[in-house]
Amino acid sequence: YADSELASAAVAGQIAELIRARAAEGQPCVLGLATGSSPTRVYEELVRLHREDGLSFQNVISFNLDEYYPMQPDSLQSYVRFMREYLFDHVDIKPENVHIPDGTVPPEQVAEFCRRYEEQIREAGGIDLQLLGIGRTGHIGFNEPGSGPVSRTRLITLDHVTRTDAASDFYGEENVPRRALTMGVGTILEAQKIVLMAWGEGKAAVVKRMVEGEVSDSVPATYLQRHPAVQVVLDEAAGAELTP
């Protein structure tokens, strides 16, 4: 796409179409959601479609990819707060249908929490459409280099590069949590459809490695090459290093 605004409107349109198609069949629509700067315009457009075009989220069940650990839900940097601000507070999604990894779970209950998160995704019928961004390390969710294709929801250690990229949100790298809860690469690959978005020249190198590079856990996003229904949605700058 010429720019991220056009691209985001197209992605939002695709999500809206899926929500409406499922509603027409009397079925839930299960969305896997991402935070960060990449999806913000998609959420803004979904809010606009809700307000101006009658798009209802009554049949939507959502599962977010990840959350910092530890993290209080009302903290400025929490993904709970992010999702409320950009989407959930502005649409008619049922609160009981929203799922975000819980950054307040005590350490001894983390494994059980993660097992239950996977179970809830299965009970909902699996994810219909998973939205993704990509980190400069090649992470999807917070699956940093070293994350394999069968990894599941778990507690991980954030890469140094990822913590540097998050430093401004936390007013200094020393304040960025060292760990996070994330769906695994294997969890993500089970979604029916995947839409990965990347904007700007800062993502061009990792986008090239993801699309054209060898599949390996040194760039976990390369495992998307094995999924049958992935769209990589880019602005011109993010796509600039791809082989024409």
Our finding on whether 65 is near ligand F6R (CB under 6 A) is yes
How far apart (Å, rounded) are the C-alpha atoms in residues 159 and 145? 8
Binding flags for ligand F6R, 137-156, as an x/- string (CB under 6 A):
--xxxx--------------
Q: Distances in Å between the alpha carbon of 74 and those of 34, 78, 168?
A: 18, 7, 18
Q: How far is the CB of 57 from ligand F6R (least distance, A)?
A: 19
How does DSSP assign 16-51, residue by residue? Answer: HHHHHHHHHTT--EEEEE--SSTTHHHHHHHHHHHH
Nearer to ligand F6R by Cβ, of 23 and 169: the residue is: 169
d(CA 95, CA 90): 12
Q: Coil, strand, or helix at residue 153?
A: coil
My answer on whether omega of the bond before 101 falls inside 30° of 0, hence cis, is no
Local structure of 132: helix, strand or coil = strand
Supply the minimum distance, in Å, between the C-beta of residue 20 and ligand F6R.
25
Q: Which of 144, 201, 212, 236 is catalytic?
A: 144
Handedness of CA 92, 95, 98, 104 (dihedral sign): positive
Task: Compute φ and ψ for 32, nearest 5 degrees.
Answer: -100, 125
Does residue 66 belong to the site contacting ligand F6R (CB under 6 A)?
yes
Q: Which of 27, 37, 120, 225 binds ligand F6R (CB under 6 A)?
A: 37
Instruction: Select from 24-32, 34-42, 95-103, 113-121 the region that touches ligand F6R (CB under 6 A).
Output: 34-42
Closest separation in Å from C-beta 204 to ligand F6R: 13
Nearer to ligand F6R, 22 or 84 (CB): 84
- DSSP character string of 93-129: --GGGEE---TTS-GGGHHHHHHHHHHHHHHTT--SE
Least spacing, CB of residue 79 vs ligand F6R, in Å: 6
Q: Which is nearer to ligand F6R, 37 or 58 (CB)?
A: 37
DSSP bridge pairs for 156 = 180
Count of chain residues binding ligand F6R (CB under 6 A): 14
Residue number, nearest CB to ligand F6R: 133
Catalytic status, residue 144? yes
Q: Which among 120-128, 131-139, 150-158, 167-175 is the span making contact with ligand F6R, rule CB under 6 A?
A: 131-139
103 part of the interface to ligand F6R, by CB under 6 A: no
Interface with ligand F6R, residue 35, by CB under 6 A: yes
Nearer to ligand F6R, 36 or 103 (CB): 36
* Interface with ligand F6R, residue 36, by CB under 6 A: yes
Spatial CA neighbour of 29 closest among 46, 45, 41 = 46
Angle of helix 40-53 relative to helix 79-86, nearest 10 degrees? 40
Where do contacts with ligand F6R occur on this chain (CB under 6 A)? 34-38, 65-66, 133-135, 139-142
Residues with catalytic function: 144
